[in-house]
Amino acid sequence: MNIKTIQTMATVVLLSFGLAACQSSSASRQQASDLQAQSDISKSGTFSNPLFPNGADPWLEYWDGNYYLTTTTWTSELVMRKAPTLAGLADATPVNVWSSTDPERCCNFWAFEFHRLKGPNGYRWYMMYTAGKDGTLDNQHLNVLESAGDDPMGPYQYKGALMPDVWNIDGNYLEYDDKLYVIYSQWQGDQQLNIIAEMENPWTLKKGQEHTVITRPELDWEISGRKVTEGAEILQHNGRTFMTYSASFCNTPDYKLGLLELVGDDPMDANAWKKFDEPVFERTEEVFGPGHNGFFTSPDGSEDWLVYHGNDSVEHGCSATRSLRAQKFEWNEDGTPDFGKPLTPGVEVPPPSGEHGPLVTRVQGQRYQLVNATSELCLDISSDPQDNRAMQRQCTGTNGQWVLDPTTDGFVRLANREDSKFLEVADCATADNARVQSAAWRNNFCQQWKLESGSDGNITITNRYSQKPIAIAGCSSSANQAVLQQNADSACTQWQLRPTGEVVILSQQSGKAVSVADEDRNVEQQAFNYAQNQQWQITPTNTGYVSLKLNAGDEMCIGTDDNAVVPGANLSMVECSQSTAQWKIRPAQGGGVMLLNRYNNQAMGVSDCGLANGTNIAQQPDMETKCQVFHFREPR
């Protein structure tokens, strides 16, 4: 072979190599472009009104990195949605955090409001809602729930009814001068009034106190259809206290907002409230009946927002046509709120300021340890405060604890309870062995994860952006070994979900807790009441499975009677050595889980999707219904 031939062959090889490299580079750029486009979509956060249909009487709070939302259900269930973005609420999984079958307050649930107040045991969320009897609206009255801790998703305990024997609706709290008041609406004659009363605690009226009327429907714009003032909402700003209220009959397009200001020192003095002569928020040619509002602030606290319901047609009224809407509002030079006009449907609305972070916050929710199936060490962050790398460390009671916080489309963000940051792939890298770390939340796909069933009882953790799982570098079993992004064929990608501490297991269908009946050790659902028979220790067995015990040292676990394998077989407390006493935790959409029996692969579920206390818990074919989805919650 002469030198010319060698040169020619080398040229061909180089050209081929260059072409392949060019093609590879082009493909990589295209992939990066596609992934960046996905990330950009994730970060836009824009929305248009209505945010979603059937959203009457909304109440919305932004707390510890999430928006929480309730709307009227007309059912016996109190439904809550949560999402890290306002736009994300449109597709957030609805979770029933409370239900009732008590005939005196079972039905027609209206106007939920949840407020973080200081109660006898510290700060809790107090859920005030209207409920009554089936088949009539003549017995509607206010009821109050109290959360077990600082998580708006509960669990909740029923505390009582404010005035169970008289008609009263649309309750709202006012905190003023170290006193707590309730403002509620009531019919007197042909007028619906807003009335204020002082409270002993968030669920009890102060004895011997007068109830003071602070709004009467007397102006022309307050009496369209019927003489109505209802839905009082408090807005406090720069040391001033305002109260919006909804005026005129909700079944007309003229339902609207009026405004009061507390100009005196005593909220119980009707003369201390100044009423504005004109409505402050009313219909347009595109939006009808805007009212029953709430207020919230943007994630960074720089903006004030209004949430309300409205209709798209003049013919619509108080039905399920009322849809959820939100918009920013401003303040006038004289210090009064300027709500503007209802935004036209379809107009693109920028997200509230601060949604894209950077955000560092302790997200509320059940804490989990993520234990690698090969090394049996916990996913954690370096103990060096100057190093934010993900690594595996020994599992202890204080480290490696994560909240699995739902975002959109079945993904979650992994919020670290120790540093209040979130797991991400560094620089949104797509390569194998890319660094995984904790960082402030910036609302992109690199910080979101898909948790899916793996081998045996384990799961895999796959990045939304790169679509690659995380694993232990070199499959090492040594502590402090890095956790990196790998390809799907890599070993050591299997992880066990291990809830920490005592756990309440709440049904997504009923909001009630999986409990044990004292008489026969039967497993059933009961309203949460802090009882020991509804606080569980979820104990790992092997290959990713767990047992469900009331106490860590117990020898009794949830299993099927007589090791039955047939659908509908009853669940009770059985010897932990029985074949049916082990379970797989499988993540479900919206932050819930399904519990699948290791022996027969059937799902734990609420019998007949019942709401009542004492409804049986049994094993069922794996259908992924909401009656088979549960949410782990911390009992305090």
What are the catalytic residues?
A: 57, 230
The DSSP result for 302-366, as a single string, is: --EEEEEEEESSTT--SSTT-EEEEEEEEE-TTS-EE---PPPTT-EEPPPTTTT--B-----S-
How would you classify the pairing of strands 227-237 and 191-201? parallel
Q: What angle do CA 358, 364, 369 make, to 5 degrees?
A: 95
The span from the CA of 420 to the CA of 503, in Å, is 21
The span from the CA of 324 to the CA of 55, in Å, is 5
Task: Identify the DSSP state of 570.
Answer: B
Single-letter residue type at 86: L
If you count them, how many residues does the chain have? 636
Question: How many other C-beta atoms are found inside a 10 Å radius of the C-beta of residue 264?
Answer: 13
Single-letter residue type at 55: G
Instruction: Give the Å distances, CA to CA, from 599 to 206, 451, 455, 570, 619.
Output: 56, 23, 15, 15, 12
Question: How many other C-beta atoms are found inside a 10 Å radius of the C-beta of residue 95?
Answer: 25
Specify whether the CB–CB gap between 71 and 79 falls below 8 A.
yes
Residue position matching structure tokens 């013919």: 315
Backbone angles phi, psi at 504, to 5 degrees: -95, 130
Residue position matching structure tokens 């720089």: 302
The span from the CA of 31 to the CA of 461, in Å, is 21
571's tokens = 């669940």
Backbone angles phi, psi at 13, to 5 degrees: -60, -45
Specify whether the CB–CB gap between 101 and 140 falls below 8 A.
no
Q: Which residues of 146-171 are buried (b: 16+ CB within 10 A; e: fewer)?
A: bbbbbbbbbbbbbbebbbeeebbbbb
Backbone angles phi, psi at 126, to 5 degrees: -110, 120
CA dihedral 446, 448, 453, 454 (to 10 degrees): 30
Start-to-end CA distance of the chain, whole Å, equals 83
CA proximity to 104, closest of 138, 127, 72, 77? 138
* DSSP β-bridge partners for residue 295: 306
508's tokens = 């997504």
